[in-house]
Amino acid sequence: MDEREQARWRARLHGMRDDLLAREPGSRAATDTVTLDQASVGRLSRMDALQGQQMARETERRRAQLLQRVEGALRRLEAAEFGECHGCGEMIDPRRLDADPTSTRCIACAR
């Protein structure tokens, strides 16, 4: 991989990381404890709030997982291992990396 390609991947991965980090404060606030006082909130409203909280927790878990994968891709890029399949050692098809730059396996090894 030449310098130009590395710079392109680095910029894309840093952009992904910055976007994920920017979403962190809002997603953390949505996972706060739901008030269980039925006098101020009805049962159905409370159930909706609990469901919303669970959805926010799952969204936060997925955001953190993707952030970890992006950080891993940046480390592989710095170690000159970006784009190499962890399974067979061959280069991952650039179209696969375009679809998901955090991929660590080629199509054959991912099956």
At 52 the pLDDT is: 85
At 91 the pLDDT is: 95
Residues of the chain with pLDDT under 70: 26-43
CB distance 97 to 103 below 8 Å = yes
At 72 the pLDDT is: 97
At 2 the pLDDT is: 87
3-state helix, strand, coil in the chain (%, to 5): 65, 0, 30
The DSSP H or E segment spanning 21 is helix 3-30
The helix/strand/coil state of 72 is helix
Predicted TM-score of the model (pTM): 0.78
Distance CA(76)–CA(70), nearest Å, equals 10
Tokens of 100: 């998901």
